[in-house]
A and B are shown apart, each in its own frame.
Chain A
């Protein structure tokens, strides 16, 4: 096998890079004063340039490809370390869980937009469908794990209402259909008294096999339970998304996205693959919405506006369309940065928007663009992919 190719220095630098990323992540999250925030960012950028010059990131990718078990085990160890350091930091944990859940929802969008080429501007609406389903089921004492699953299923089912208009339209027009749905959804919520109307609906805390999510866990914050749950869900969804990409399913999605006419000439059923991508994607968004709503404990229609759908889409674009790994730093940036800019108060969204524009100017394909599809290990002409 190729294990002999892996030098000790490669492993060491890869591990070091991962460690440094974890340190950066945690100090950025915990930095409270402007000065410590600035130092963290400066150090982070410094290390990034240094690591890039030394091709540490390539080493990391080689390492992850050749020793996947070791690599993933290391990730789990790093995450547990982060959690044990942060276990009393309610707010940091809350942010970690939010980023994780938004990332999970964006994997769904990646499936739709990145693979099958379906622009979904109603992401927040499907997030809301998951949330409201959980709210109603949890208020009727349905076990939480079931209600979160039902949240995903309901999102898929309601999404199927949109299938017909989406199949009949293309490109911008299909995007318009989803925008209309997003606006319709919010108005529907506001006028519907059963769903709590405009002031929203409360959700009782989670209870999983007698493990109450509203109580402190392992001597730490009660948000730890949500972080663990959302990390597990994210891991599973990320795994599924990557498997879909690598398999013949992903090939079909790619070909539908790139050229519908050519694909149908080869006997690919365009409608079938579009529906599949749309439904799976909405399912992912729905379950993450369900857990998010449960963590918030109170949801209202203004959480699920068209603007929030745009946030989801911008995470996918910023991360690099079609690359689920890119979604992670992008979600972190889009959710945590406005929070870290709180000290400049009313100007923060302005500065935040400028930063996002800068990122897009210097990295127009997003933070991490989608790698070329390799059909064989050592041979990978860019047939399909970017």
Chain B
């Protein structure tokens, strides 16, 4: 008996000895929703960040080897705060590329600030994340929903549409879109016939859609993310509503097209930044992404995660392993070339994205508006194919 005990004790001590061995590579954190309703976007972002790390490691001019520490926030604030604490409290992790979900990011910026952890948001669009505080650690490469909706409203009014009905989910994401789109639409002279808040896990939209049918709007604006977007689009068809379906950045994903099938045709959506394939670095990104044979696509925000990871690597290359200096470096980023265009942070750490790209679904693909047959007049948005 005593022998067994001795063995156990020896094993324990040995095991602690082994685990304290240090890895020589530089660690970067990645946080995103890898499980749950929006996991497609989280996994796309994760793969893109992983790609950036792999490319940096194969680049001989880089001083360090990098390692990505991936954590799942489940799109839930309490889990987000938990993993943010884990990343920020680990002194070996120098910076973090974090969050697709706005409600999570709002909560975790405090944690990152408390630990002095430089972070770059890669997908969450709520303005408050950067503009609601003055933390030097917080940055964001993607734009906010303010610019997105302004462009969307102007574009649609210029196309000659006059009446809208808004459906938004009651998360901060959907509510924010509702708010900013309504404001912009008022400015440009569109009319809102009605707006409906739905919960993010609602399955049946017949009540709302029946009412909408009687209002007979030209456009249905949807502020929310893919899963309910798919449900609303398919149920619209069952009730024979032929209005144009206009979405937001939240539905730009391949999952939306897979979910709705042929019904996805002529869905409109808007996203900050230029489309990856139109940028010189973008096509390289897509090619390299293909080469790695990831099992799922980068999705809409993959390029942002890729750019954010690259930016963080650049910061570490230039300043060495010190969180404060990395934060300082990031705060001074101006006109940094990336796959999403030039990155320039304002005093809140927000990238001032000048460009919003318009997308339309054509033959089962998200096509840039300017290159689509809808723009050239071969197809008509308001008519069923």
Chain A interface residues (CB < 8 Å from chain B): 16, 20, 23, 27, 31-33, 35-36, 39-40, 43, 46-47, 50, 54, 89-91, 94-95, 98, 186-187, 190-191, 197-200, 202, 214, 221, 296-300, 302-303, 339, 342, 345-346, 348-349
Chain B interface residues (CB < 8 Å from chain A): 1, 4-5, 8, 11-12, 15-16, 18-19, 34-35, 39, 42-43, 46, 70-72, 75-78, 81-83, 85-86, 88-90, 102-103, 106-107, 110-111, 114-115, 126, 128, 170-172, 174-175, 197, 199
Q: Is the CB of B103 within 8 A of A199?
A: yes
Q: Which residues from chain B contact A298 at a C-beta distance below 8 Å?
A: 77, 81, 106-107, 110
Q: Is the CB of B128 within 8 A of A94?
A: no
In the complex formed, the residue of A with least CB distance to B21 is: A33
Please give the distance in Å from A36's CB to the nearest CB on chain B. 4
List 8 extra interface pairs beyond A35-B19, A47-B8, A186-B199, CB under 8 A.
Answer: A31-B19, A36-B15, A91-B89, A296-B107, A297-B110, A303-B77, A339-B86, A346-B39
Please give the distance in Å from A301's CB to the nearest CB on chain B. 8
Q: Is the CB of B75 within 8 A of A345?
A: no
Q: Is the CB of B19 within 8 A of A339?
A: no
Give the contacting residue for A342; candidates B71, B75, B102; CB below 8 A: B71
In the complex formed, the residue of A with least CB distance to B1 is: A54
> What CA separation (Å) do A36 and B39 show in the bound complex?
29
Q: Which residues from chain A contact B110 at a C-beta distance below 8 Å?
A: 202, 297-298
> What CA separation (Å) do A33 and B18 show in the bound complex?
10
Please give the distance in Å from A339's CB to the nearest CB on chain B. 7
Q: Which residues from chain A contact B1 at a C-beta distance below 8 Å?
A: 54
Q: Which residues from chain A contact B174 at a C-beta distance below 8 Å?
A: 198
Contact sample, A vs B, 22 pairs, CB 8 Å cutoff: A23-B12, A36-B15, A36-B18, A90-B115, A94-B85, A190-B199, A197-B172, A199-B126, A199-B128, A202-B110, A214-B114, A221-B89, A298-B77, A298-B106, A299-B107, A302-B103, A303-B78, A339-B82, A339-B83, A342-B70, A345-B34, A346-B72
Q: Which residues from chain A contact B39 at a C-beta distance below 8 Å?
A: 346
Q: Is the CB of B43 within 8 A of A43?
A: no
Please give the distance in Å from A221's CB to the nearest CB on chain B. 8
Q: Which residues from chain A contact B171 at a C-beta distance below 8 Å?
A: 190, 198-199, 302
Q: Is the CB of B103 within 8 A of A296?
A: no
Please give the distance in Å from A114's CB to the nearest CB on chain B. 25
Give the contacting residue for A39; candidates B11, B46, B89, B126; CB below 8 A: B11
Q: Which residues from chain B contact A27 at a C-beta distance below 8 Å?
A: 12, 15-16
Q: Which residues from chain B contact A299 at a C-beta distance below 8 Å?
A: 77-78, 107
Please give the distance in Å from B381's CB to the nearest CB on chain A. 31
Q: Which residues from chain A contact B15 at a C-beta distance below 8 Å?
A: 27, 36, 39-40, 43
Q: Is the CB of A187 within 8 A of B170?
A: yes
Q: Which residues from chain A contact B106 at a C-beta distance below 8 Å?
A: 199-200, 298, 300
Please report whether the interface of chain A is mostly helix, strand, loop or mixed according to DSSP: helix
> What CA separation (Å) do A31 and B18 show in the bound complex?
11
Give the contacting residue for A98; candidates B18, B19, B82, B90; CB below 8 A: B82
Please give the distance in Å from B143's CB to the nearest CB on chain A. 18
Q: Is the CB of B126 within 8 A of A349?
A: no
Q: Is the CB of B83 within 8 A of A200?
A: no
> A94 with B170: in contact, given A36-B19, A190-B199, A348-B72 (CB under 8 Å)?
no
> What CA separation (Å) do A297 and B1 show in the bound complex?
49
Please give the distance in Å from B68's CB to the nearest CB on chain A. 11
Q: Which residues from chain A contact B8 at a C-beta distance below 8 Å?
A: 20, 43, 46-47
Q: Which residues from chain B contact A300 at a C-beta distance below 8 Å?
A: 77, 103, 106-107
Q: Which residues from chain B contact A214 at a C-beta distance below 8 Å?
A: 114
Q: Which residues from chain B contact A95 at a C-beta distance below 8 Å?
A: 82
> A191 with B78: in contact, given A200-B103, A345-B34 (CB under 8 Å)?
no
Q: Is the CB of B172 within 8 A of A33?
A: no
Q: Which residues from chain B contact A342 at a C-beta distance below 8 Å?
A: 70-72, 83
Q: Which residues from chain B contact A47 at a C-beta distance below 8 Å?
A: 8
Q: Which residues from chain A contact B175 at a C-beta distance below 8 Å?
A: 197-198
Q: Which residues from chain B contact A35 at a C-beta distance below 8 Å?
A: 18-19
Q: Is the CB of B199 within 8 A of A187?
A: yes
Please give the distance in Å from B30's CB to the nearest CB on chain A. 10
Please give the distance in Å from B201's CB to the nearest CB on chain A. 8
> What CA separation (Å) do A191 and B114 show in the bound complex?
30
Give the contacting residue for A346; candidates B16, B34, B115; CB below 8 A: B34
Q: Is the CB of A345 within 8 A of B82?
A: no
Q: Is the CB of A190 within 8 A of B170?
A: yes
Q: Which residues from chain B contact A348 at a C-beta distance below 8 Å?
A: 34-35, 72
Please give the distance in Å from A315's CB to the nearest CB on chain B. 15
> What CA separation (Å) do A190 and B103 show in the bound complex?
12
> What CA separation (Å) do A190 and B5 show in the bound complex?
55
Q: Is the CB of B170 within 8 A of A191?
A: yes
Q: Which residues from chain B contact A221 at a C-beta distance below 8 Å?
A: 89
Nearest 8 CB-CB pairings of A with B: A90-B89, A199-B172, A298-B107, A36-B19, A346-B34, A190-B170, A300-B77, A91-B86
